[in-house]
Structure 1
Amino acid sequence: MTTAEESGWAPEACTLPTVERPLRLAEFDGLFATALRAQQRLSATVLRWDLDPAAGEVARDLTGRESSCCSFFTFTFHPGDEVLRLDVEVPPAHVGVLDALARRAADGIRS
């Protein structure tokens, strides 16, 4: 597994302390492994995840904390009965971070 910096995960705009970055990455990996049902790239700057609705509280907590240290992320939830849809958006300057996130999600998607 690559480190956060090697994967493009944590740009200079991220204020999360370096020592905490692997822990945050592990939290996202856990969400992907347990709750991610599908992923779709809507545009260069927007990624859509379909999550198990049971993971809603965990996903909201995690994305809220991520937004507080990486303010360039916009996480938008669209609840539904069968799936919790989550759109992840970044400005064009941070497409590389979204690319890295999409790769991690694809590697961890629940089968």
Structure 2
Amino acid sequence: MTESIPVSWAPESCALPTVERPLREAAFAALFHDHLTRVRRPAPAVAELVLDRANPARVRELVALEASCCSFFTFDVREAAGRVRLNVGVPSGQVPVLDALVASAVAASGAEVTP
């Protein structure tokens, strides 16, 4: 199911080899499809993603991999009551990348974005 999601969010500046980018995006899409329940955008350069029943270790592993190739991302992973809250931040010049990541998350999960 997630392989049909067309939203690509990897920026050209990403250090991940181009051939590996769709695999990384697919890993995030699968996470979002299976666990994302809410997306909040408290500011243009910040997204808060709430994942129900997600494996926190897997979320941390995935965001660590992403931060290693796209160092402009900041990720904060917190667990509480069976949920993982993933806060994602970017510098103002990278807001279009965050917008595309959020669009991918919404496409994969059906969650709606709230302010």
Fold-level match, TM-score > 0.5? yes
- 1:26 alignment partner, SS class: helix
- Give, in angstroms, the shift of residue 28 of structure 1: 0.6
- Give, in angstroms, the shift of residue 53 of structure 1: 4.1
- Give, in angstroms, the shift of residue 15 of structure 1: 0.1
What is the aligned partner in structure 1 of residue 79 from structure 2?
79
Task: Report the aligned-residue RMSD.
Answer: 1.6
**What fraction of aligned residue pairs are identical, expressed as a percent?**
44
Structure 2 contact 45–91 (Cα < 8 Å) conserved:
yes
- 2:14 alignment partner, SS class: coil
Structure 2 counterpart of 1:84, one-letter code: V
- Give, in angstroms, the shift of residue 88 of structure 1: 0.3
What is the aligned partner in structure 1 of residue 21 from structure 2?
21
Structure 2 counterpart of 1:31, one-letter code: L
What is the aligned partner in structure 2 of residue 99 from structure 1?
99
Q: Deviations over 1:29-57 (max 9, x none)?
A: 10001111111111000000001243212
Q: Deviations over 1:41-87 (max 9, x none)?
A: 11000000001243212111110000000000000012111421110
Q: Does 1:37 align with 2:23?
A: no
How many residues align? The count is: 107
What is the aligned partner in structure 1 of residue 59 from structure 2?
59
Q: Identify if the C-alpha distance between structure 1 residues 81 and 3 changes in structure 2 by more than 3 Å, giving closer, same or farther.
A: closer
Structure 2 residue runs of 5 or longer lacking an equivalent are none
- Give TM-score, length-normalised by structure 2: 0.85
Q: Which has the higher strand share?
A: 2
Runs of 4 or more consecutive aligned structure 1 residues displaced over 3 Å after TM superposition? 1-4
- Give TM-score, length-normalised by structure 1: 0.88
Structure 1 residue runs of 5 or longer lacking an equivalent are none
